[in-house]
A and B are shown apart, each in its own frame.
Chain A
Amino acid sequence: MSGFRAPPRKGENFELAADLNSEYREKRKDAIKKVIANMTVQKDVSGLFPDVLKNLQTDDLEQKKLVYLYLMNYAKTQPELVILAVNTFVKDTDDPNPLVRALAIRTMGCLRAEKIIDYLCDPLQKCLKDDNPYVRKTAALCVAKLYDLKPELVIENGFLEQLQEMIADSNPMVVANTVAALTDIHIAAVAAGSTRDVFVITSSILNKLLIALNECSEWGRVAILNALARYESQDDRESEHICERVVPQFQHANASVVLAAIKVIMIHMRGIRSENLTKQLVRKMAPPLVTLLSNPPKCKLLSSEMRVFFCKYNDPLYVKVEKLDIMVRLAGESNVDALLSELKEYASEVDVDFVRKSIKAIGQTAIKIDEAAERYVVQEAVVVMKDIFRKYPSTYEGVIPTLCANLEELDEPEAKASLIWIIGEYSQKIDNADELLGIFVDSFTEESYPVQLQTLTAVVKLYLQKPDSSQGLVQRILNTATKDCDSPDVRDRAYIYWRLLSTDPGAAKAVVLAHRPPISLPRTTISPALLEELLGEISSLASVYQKPEETFVGRGRIGVDSMHRKGAEYLADDGLATQKALQTVAIGQQAENLLDLSDEGTDNGERQPSGLAATTILPSTTAAANLIAGTSSNPLDDLVSIFGNLNAGPPSAQPLNPLGGFGFGSAPMSPAPLVTPSALQPVTPMVSQQPQTPQQPEDDLLGLF
C-alpha cells in the first residue's frame, strides 16, 4: 500500500486497491475498468491514484488508455504523484507504435499539471518531427495545449516557428491541425493582449492552405477555411483566386464546411472588383443556403428565396420564429402579398406564442413597406386581429370601440399594459378615455407593475391633452402611486411626473408626449458596424446570437465600449444614419441589461438612476430628448410604440423581450444574456455616453423631492 495517503481499510476502494496490485494481469485490468466506471458515475476514486499509476507500464493498449484517462482526470488533484508517471510518458513517446506515441503526447498535453510541463518539451520537439503523420498532427495540437498552460515555454522552445514550417507539411491532416493550433494560439494571444502577431498568413502560406484545402478531411477544411477568412488579400486578383478555389466547397455535404466557405467568400468578395464575378458568386451562394434550411434545423442566414421559409407545420418553434424573422427581412414590394397571406394563415395557428409573433411580423412588415402599410397591411392586420379576437378573448385589437368593450376581459398584464398605452396615446380620440382609465386607477394597487407604470403614463398623457376633464384623475393616481405603491419604480416615475407637472407643464409635455424616435424597424437595421463584425463570425456562436462576440464571452463591458468606439469612428464620416444604428444597438444593449436586472429580481432601485438621469436632462435639448425618450423610459414603451402607431398592435408587446433594439429575431436564440456583474456594468457607460452627463447619485435625486 502506498504511504502517501492512508487508504480506507474497507469498502469498495479498498478492494479495488487490492485488485490493482494483484499479480494477475486480467484482474488488474478489470479493476482499472471498475475504477473508471466509478469515475464515470462521479464517485471519488482519487485515493487510488498511486495504485492505478503502477499499472501504467503495460503492453496492453486498452489498459494504457484507461490509465491515461484516469490520469487526465485526477492529475490536478495529485500533482506530486503525477511526476511518477513522467518516465513512462517519455518512454512511450519513443514507442515503435505510432498510436502509442501519439497517445502519450496527446495525454501529456491534457494533464495540465505544472510539474509535468517541463518534461513535455523534449518529447514534443521529437514528435513534431515524427515520421508518422498521425503523430505529427497530434503533436501540432499539443503545442496549442502547451501555449494554453505556459506560453513562455512555447516561445522559448521555438515551437511557433516550427508550427509555421509545418504548414508546408506534405500531409493535409497535419496542415489542418497545424492551422487549427496556430489559430487557437492566435486567439489566446490576442485575448491576453499580446500585440505580437502569432499567426500571420503570408501569400506563400495562402497557397499551401489552398492546396491542402482540397485534400484534407471535412473538419480540417473548416479550420483552413477559417484561417482563409482572416487573410487580407493583397489585390483583387488574389481575392478572385481565393474565391475560385473556395467555391467548390459549397458542394460539401458537411454544413459547417459550407458555412465556413460562405464566410470566406463573403469576406473576400469585397476585394473583387469585377461586378460580374460578384454576382456569379452570390448566385452560387444562394442554393446551398436554401438547402441548409431543409436540413436539420440550425442557424440560418439570409437568402433571396422566400417561399422556402414558409413554415412547416411541424417545425420546432425556434425554427419557426427564425423563419418569420427572415421573412420579414426579405419582404419587399414584390412579395408582400404572398407574405401577408401566409402570415395570416399563421395567425390562426394553435400555438399562441407563434401567433403573437406572426402578428408582430405583420406589423413590422407594415412599417417596412410604407405603401403597403397604408392600404393593405393595416387591413390585413385588423382581419387577423379579428380571428385572434374570436379565439382568444383575452387579447385586444386595434379597433378602439370593440377594444374598450373588452376592457374587463383582459387578464394578461402585458396585454393590459399595451391597451392602456393605446388609450393614453389616443386619448384625444377616445371620448370616454377618462372613464376607462378611471377603472384602472381604481384598481391601481392590485395591478402588476408594468400595468401600473402604463396607467400612470397614460393618465398623465390624458391630462396633458385634456387638462379640464382629468385633473382629478391625475391627482388621484399620483397620490396612490406615491403613497400606496410598493414598487420603487412606479413611485419614482410618479414623483417625476408630479414634479414636472407642478413646475413646468411645458417641459412635462415635451417629455411625456415626446415624439418617439423614428421607428425604422430595428430588426432590419443591424448596425453596419455589427454587421461587419458578424460577417466574420458566420457559423460561430456570435452569429447565432446576432451579437458581437464580446457581449457574451464574459467581457460585456469591453464589448459595449468597442461598439462605442466603432460608433464614434462612423460618426466622424457618416453622421446621422449610423448614429441611429448605433443608437439601436445601444438601446438594445441597455434594454437587455435593464431587463436582466428585473429578471433577476435585483433591487429595482438600481436601474432607476439611468432612467432618472436620462429624464432629467430631457428638457434641455429636444434632439437629445428624442433619442433618450427611447432609452430612458421602460423599453416596453418603445416596443409598444412600434405597434401602437399602427393602430393594430400585437396582443401583447412582450416586455421580457431582451433585445428590443436588435429586433426580436435574435431574442429567441439568446433568451438570457449574461447576468454576471459584467452585465451590470454596461448600464453605466451607457448613460455616461449621453451628451450631457448628469452625475447625480441616487440620493440626490431622491432629495429633489
Chain B
Amino acid sequence: MASLIAILDLKGKPLIQRSYRDDVPPAYVERFLPIVLDLEEESQQVPPCFSKEGVNYMHIRHSNLYLLALSKRNSNAAEIVLFLHRLVQVLVEYFKELEEESIRDNFVIIYELMDEMMDFGYPQTTESKILQEYITQESYKLEVQVRPPIAVTNAVSWRSEGIRYRKNEVFLDVIESVNLLVNANGNVVRSEILGAVKMKCYLSGMPELRLGLNDKVMFESTGRNARGKAIEMEDVKFHQCVRLSRFENDRTISFIPPDGEFELMSYRLSTPVKPLVWVEAAVEHHKGSRIEYMVKVKAQFKRRSTANNVEIYVPVPDDADTPKFRASTGSVQYVPDKSAFVWKIKQLGGGREFLMRAHFGLPSVRGEQDLDKRAPISVKFEIPYFTVSGIQVRYLKIVEKSGYQALPWVRYITQNGDDYSLRTAQEKGSASIVPM
C-alpha cells in the first residue's frame, strides 16, 4: 500500500505526483534525493527501500528518472516495488519512451493512468492493453462515451472480446539464457539456465490454448514414456492468464492468451551446463612496461550448430595504451571506456577453436592507489535452433468456438545470460605473496 507515487528527475524534482492517502504530506517527496545523496556520501549503498523519520521510501530507477512511493505504514514492499515496475511498463507502452520530455507532454494522461491503476494505495488494473481501451490519447468525441471494458473486472482481465484477425497465427519463441561462472582454475562454480517462452498472438475471438512441452514431471505422472529426452524444469512461472490450479493438478498449460506480444512462461534449470563457449586467457604482466594476453576460444557444442555474434570482453588495466592485436578469426577492438578489449566473431562453428593475441603498453609510473582489477571475462553469443536444456514444444492446440484453423510457429534460441563470465587466471608475472 502506497500513500503517494511520484516520478522524479535526477535532481530529485518531482515531475508528476499523485497522492493516494493523506498520511504522508507531499513535501516528503523533495526530501528523497537529499537522503539518497547522504547515503551515497557515507559510501553506503542505497537500498531500494529505506525509512527516515517515520516515512518509508521505496523507489526504482528507470533511465534518468526515479519512481518513488512513500508510505507511513508497514506496507507490502514487494507489491509496491513491483507496481512501480509495472507503472514503468505501462507508461513505456503508452509513450514508447519514458523520460522527462514524455512525462511533461503527457501529464494529463499520466494522471488518468495513475488514477486508474491505483486506488487508495492499492494497485488495481495494470494491463496496458486493457487500459488503452478506455484511456486513450485522443480525447473522446462527445457522442461516443467510453465505458469501462468488461475485462477490467472480468475473470479474464487481460483480453477483450471481439478481436478479429484475417489470418490467425501464433509465434512461439523459446529463449534460453545461460548464466555461468567459471573460476580461475577452470571449474564451473555456478551455472543455470533461464528459459522463457514468449508469444506473439494474432488470434480472433476468445481462443483456448494448450501448450505441450517435453516436461518430465508430466510424463512421469501420466505414466507415458517420453520419446527422446524429457526435461525437468525446476521452477516455472506463468503469465497470469495460465490456469495455475490446472498446472498444479496435471501439469497442463492451458490459457486464454492476451492479444499481441507477451511472455507466457519462464523457467529455470540448475542442471550443470558445460560452457558452450569456452574462453581461456593467459596473461603476462610486466609491471611498468607492457601486458600481453593470449586468448583461446572454443565452441563446445555440436558441429551442426553455429554461434552467431560472439563477443568476448577481456578486461585490461585502466591505463593500458597502444593496443596491438592479432587474431586468427574475427576482429578485435580496444574499448577504453569499459577497460577491456572485445573480440568479435560473426560466426563460430561448433567444435571450432581459435586464438588471438593482444599486447598493451603500460605507463612506467603507477599511481599509489592503483589496484589490480580482477574483472572476469564476459562472453556474449547466440545459438539459433538450439536449446541447452533440450526443451521442446510438442504441440500447441488452439480451439476457438468459430472453429478456425491457426498456425503455430516455433523458434528456439540459446544465448548468454546477463552473467556469463569466466574469471581470469592469476597473473603469472605478478609478485606472489610470501606465505607467513
Q: List chain A positions with a Cβ less than 8 A from chain B.
A: 33, 36-37, 40, 42, 59-62, 65-66, 69, 72, 97-99, 102, 106, 109-110, 112, 132-134, 137-138, 141-142, 144-145, 148, 171-174, 177, 180-181, 184, 187, 214-219, 222-223, 226, 245, 247-256, 258-260, 287-288, 290-291, 294, 296-299, 305, 307-308, 310, 312-314, 316-318, 321, 341-342, 345, 348-350, 353, 382-383, 386-387, 390-391, 399, 402, 537, 539-545, 549, 552-554, 656, 668-676
The one of B45, B74, B140, B192 in contact with A62, judged by C-beta atoms closer than 8 angstroms, is B140
In the complex, are the beta carbons of B76 and A226 less than 8 A apart? yes
* Inter-subunit contact A219/B79 (CB<8 Å): yes
Q: Which of A252, A318, A391 contacts B371 (CB 8 A)?
A: A391
Most A C-beta atoms less than 10 A away, residue of B147, B148, B192, B371: B148
Q: How far is the CB of B278 from chain A (nearest CB, A)?
A: 18
CB-CB < 8 A to B433: which residues of A?
386-387, 390
Most buried by A among B50, B73, B79, B125: B79
**In the complex, the 7 A-B pairs of residues with the closest C-beta atoms, listed nearest first:** A287-B235, A554-B54, A248-B244, A317-B45, A248-B248, A219-B123, A133-B153
Does B11 count as interface, using CB distance less than 8 angstroms?
Answer: no
**Cross-chain contact A134 with B153 (CB below 8 angstroms):** yes
- Stretch from B91-99, B342-350, B373-381 forming part of the interface with A: B373-381
Contact B76 A256 (CB under 8 A): yes
Contact with A along B71-94 (1 / 0, CB 8 A): 111111111011101000000000
What CA separation (Å) do A37 and B112 show in the bound complex?
A: 14
Complex contact A342–B419 (CB within 8 A): no
Which of B35, B72, B263 is A253 in contact with, Cβ under 8 Å?
A: B263
| Measured CA separation A61–B190 after assembly (Å) | 56
Q: Which residue of B lies closest to A258 (CB)?
A: B237
Residue among B122, B268, B374 having the largest count of chain A Cβ atoms under 10 Å: B122
| Cα distance, A223 to B81, chains bound together (Å) | 15
Please encode chain B, from 413 to 428, with 1 for each CB lying within 8 Å of some chain A CB and 0 for all others. 0000011010100000
A99 touches B147 (CB 8 A): yes
A145 & B120 in contact (Cβ 8 Å cutoff): yes
Complex Cα distance A38/B159, Å? 37
Cβ A184 vs Cβ B45 within 8 A: no
Chain B, 158-177, contact with A by CB distance < 8 Å: what is the 0/1 string? 00000000000000000000
Contact A672 B107 (CB under 8 A): no
Nearest-neighbour CB distance to chain B for A259, whole angstroms, equals 5
Instruction: Tell whether A40 pairs with B47 under 8 Å between CB atoms, given A60-B140, A386-B436.
Output: no
- Report A72 CB to chain B, min CB distance, Å: 8
**A40-B107, A214-B244 given as contacts; is B122 within 8 A of A177 (CB)?**
yes
Q: How far is the CA of A110 from the CA of B21 in the complex (A)?
A: 8
Cross-chain contact A184 with B1 (CB below 8 angstroms): yes
Q: Are B268's CB and A553's CB within 8 A? A: no
Contact B120–A184 (Cβ < 8 Å)? yes
Q: Is the CB of A134 within 8 A of B140?
A: no
Asked if B337 CB lies within 8 Å of chain A CBs, one says no
List the A residue with the shortest CB-CB distance to B436.
A399
Most buried by B among A112, A245, A291, A542: A291
Q: Are the C-beta atoms of A544 and B77 separated by less than 8 Å?
A: yes
Q: Known: A321-B45, A553-B54. Is A256-B152 also a contact (CB below 8 A)?
A: no
Please tell me which one of the listed residues A99, A383, A672 contacts residue B148 in the complex, with CB atoms under 8 A apart. A99
A138 to B148, CA, bound (A): 12
Per-position 1/0 for B170-207, Cβ under 8 A of A: 00000000010101000001101010000000000000
- Decide: B53 and A219 in contact? CB cutoff 8 A: no
Interface residue? B238 (CB, 8 A): yes
A66 and B49 in contact (CB under 8 A), knowing A345-B423, A539-B77, A541-B74?
A: no
Q: Which residues of A sit under 8 angstroms from B374, Cβ to Cβ?
A: 348-350
Report the nearest B residue to A63, measured CB to CB.
B139
- Cα of A542 to Cα of B51 in the assembled complex, Å: 10
What's the minimum C-beta distance from B155 to chain A, rounded to whole angstroms? 4
Chain B residues with Cβ under 8 A from A553's Cβ?
54, 72-74
B101 at the interface (CB under 8 A from A): no
Q: Which residues does chain B contribute within 8 Å of A552, judged by CB atoms?
A: 51, 54, 56, 74
User: B303 interface residue, CB < 8 Å from A?
Assistant: no
Interface residues on B, range: 35 or more
A256's partner among B44, B52, B78, B419 (CB-CB below 8 A) is B78
Which of B14, B47, B123, B142 gathers the greatest number of chain A CB atoms within 10 Å? B47
Q: Closest CB of chain A to B147's CB: distance in Å?
A: 6
Cα distance A674–B142 in the bound complex, in angstroms = 53
User: Within 8 Å of chain A (Cβ to Cβ): is B260?
Assistant: no
Whether the Cβ atoms of A253 and B240 lie closer than 8 Å is yes
With contacts A350-B373, A545-B51, A552-B51 known, is A253 near B45, CB below 8 A? no
Find out whether the CB atom of A134 lies under 8 angstroms from the CB atom of B235: no
Chain B residues in 8 Å Cβ range of A219: 79, 83, 122-124, 126
B211 an interface residue at 8 Å Cβ cutoff?
no
Other 17 A-B pairs with CB < 8 A, given A138-B119, A184-B120, A247-B248? A59-B145, A72-B19, A109-B120, A219-B83, A251-B244, A252-B238, A290-B268, A298-B48, A310-B181, A313-B376, A399-B436, A541-B58, A553-B54, A553-B72, A668-B47, A672-B50, A674-B53
Alpha-carbon gap, A248 to B181, bound state (A):
32
**Docked-complex contact A308 and B190, CB < 8 angstroms:** yes
**Residues of B with C-beta under 8 A to A245:** 245
Q: How far is the CA of A159 from the CA of B436 in the complex (A)?
A: 76
For residue B375, which residue of chain A has the nearest CB?
Answer: A313
In chain A, what residue has the closest Cβ to B158? A217
A141-B122, A296-B85 known; A60-B139 Cβ under 8 A:
yes
Contacts A/B (CB < 8 Å), 14 sampled? A61-B140, A62-B108, A65-B115, A134-B152, A138-B119, A141-B119, A141-B122, A177-B124, A245-B245, A255-B82, A316-B45, A399-B436, A539-B77, A552-B56
- Is B28 interfacial (CB-CB < 8 Å)? no
